[in-house]
Structure 1
């Protein structure tokens, strides 16, 4: 079934185009993060830079929370990404949820992040909503932030592909703290398979809705598991026909015009989901692995070797 959103007059400037090869940019949220399950902060940064370079990725984007910078070492690690050719963008200073924050405070948090970022090399005029929360059911709040971004010449640094990598990092941290044995090979395979499956799901959804494959933007986080296995993920994506592109290229795709104007009952999630919802595409409109109950079952079974608890 092809549900073409060009029929929506407010987004008619994004006409359907013939399907193209699958292209994807890699983006990492929440820098700088604290210690993870397996690596020190320095090890994580060095490994992530090295593995991106070895995989031939010239530019990824790091969406930064400057309010979480606590030391010169935190700043040094962020600068290391820029020195390696990657770029920075705004993720608010302290990572609030828009649906739980008043507009004035939220805009102040955006401005606080911009103050730090504007002094950095490699800064881009992109803003990504923490938790991909664009106000949820509060359309007045959604529109107020859209207006604030436009006033500041900031563009929505939207996501088209999400596989909840943050959940797996947390699951590993909890398992390690509880002294459970973690099968790292199985964990790597689960991480890679989930993200490739999500990429394929969202690309198919986009093709159904707009009639083509847009330049995709994958949401990842600055985690230990990304540092360890980003090369494996890139290899697996390429094996499925994906080309890794820069964030600069991805955010010039006409698909991004929808980020300024989509209208759904609840504004939270990937842009692919929002556009499909607006177009009336039937569920599911989001990747099944973003159900954290299911993701926990996968992790428990495959990584910890545990069978899920049976309900009475």
Structure 2
């Protein structure tokens, strides 16, 4: 009799465990990297650029994640001349198995220059990229708006969408938005200006230790927003940049995200989620997450957007910035 009760008890526990496991939401995320071949390469000299670039690609391969990298071709030039070594950097991305997309030539702002000039900058941004991909039978198919500024009216967004479709592009949205670029600016500024090697390494270590928790807090925030808006977790799209901070931290960021229960998927697979058919209700001048754009289309109150994690004041100071 006791054995029978024991068996029934075990079966009941197994059933409850199965129900709990079934109720656990599926967490999926696509990783995208902007400003290839290297962030701010048109603004500042990157110390040991080739080594840093190789480090980032090796870290991504070690992390074993699919990636789409978005190119600004202005960063291939020095004094208006394309540098073969920088083109080779894009070839290295391609040969590592990562996709390459168009991020405009000059990282331009649609809202500042207008649609006609923006479209021309998109075409200028594929002069090197398109033949580079053609070498292996590929073509650029992804486009990412600089600053996530996608149009200040439904008509402007629709017109840009038609142009992109005509040229074989799909828009790469971002749901997990963040200010990783501020952390990267702080990291570069310390590397560039701190002359005391002990103090320099201490500051860089402090930034590395703070960066991954900040990014995970952002991920948690947008996970909650997606759940609240859609009643489920959408497949997420994450944005980071090609820079020294990513080279040093991306493996830990990926590992920590997997510990959260996330599975890394391709951008194409992420966009198969029906959430990405949702209307975009944002007509403002800034750049924000697509989850928040969808919420605006539904007229969500201001309270919906509350609680987004901010960059700590000490990081802002190190970056030399006053506001995000």
Look up the match of 1:14. none
Alignment of 1:126-165 (within 5 A): 126-136=142-152, 138-165=153-180
Larger deviation, residues 241-250 vs 146-155: 146-155
Is 2:72 the partner of 1:65?
yes
Q: Secondary structure at the match of 2:141?
A: strand
Aligned equivalents of 1:299, 1:96: Cα separation in 2: 26
Task: Give the structure 2 partner of residue 28 of structure 1.
Answer: 33
How many Å separate the matches in 2 of 1:116 and 1:92?
Answer: 12
Please list every run of 5 or more consecutive structure 1 residues that lacks an aligned counterpart in the other structure: 1-17
The answer to which structure, 1 or 2, has the higher relative contact order (CA under 8 A, 6+ apart) is: 1
Q: How does 1:38-77 map to 2 (within 5 A)?
A: 39-57=47-65, 59-70=66-77, 71-77=83-89
Which residue number corresponds to residue 230 of structure 1? 250
Matched residue of 2:239: which SS? Answer: strand
Residue-by-residue CA offset, 1:255-288 (whole Å, 9 max, x unaligned): 2223xx4123426311111112222333453773
Q: Secondary structure at the match of 2:131?
A: coil
Q: 1:156/1:287 Cα in 2 relative to 1: closer, same or farther (>3 Å)?
A: farther
Q: Kindly indicate whether the alpha-carbon contact (under 8 Å) linking 2:141 and 2:168 is maintained by their aligned counterparts in 1.
A: yes
Specify every segment of 5 or more residues in structure 2 that has no aligned partner in the other structure, as ranges: 1-22, 78-82
Give runs of aligned pairs for residues 141-220 of structure 1, distance below 5 A.
141-179=156-194, 181-182=199-200, 183-220=203-240
TM, length-normalised to structure 2: 0.78
Cα distance change, pair 142–190 in 1 and its aligned pair in 2 (3 A): same
Q: Which residue of 1 aligns with 2:13?
A: none
SS in 2 for 1:196: helix
Q: Do the aligned partners of residues 256 and 41 (structure 1) sit closer, same or farther apart at CA in structure 2, a change above 3 Å counting?
A: farther
Contact 2:227 2:233 in 1 (8 A): yes
User: Does the 8 A contact of 1:27 with 1:219 survive in 2?
Assistant: yes
| Secondary structure in structure 2 of the residue aligned to 1:161 | coil
Taking only aligned residues, the RMSD between alpha carbons, in angstroms, comes to 2.7
Query: Which of the numbers 297, 300, 308 marks the counterpart of 1:281?
Result: 300
Post-superposition CA distance 1:30-74 (Å, at most 9, x none): 1122287985221222111111122222x2110111232121111
Please give the secondary structure, in 2, of the residue aligned with 1:92: coil
Match of 2:11 in 1: none
Task: Measure how far apart 1:118 and its partner are.
Answer: 2.3
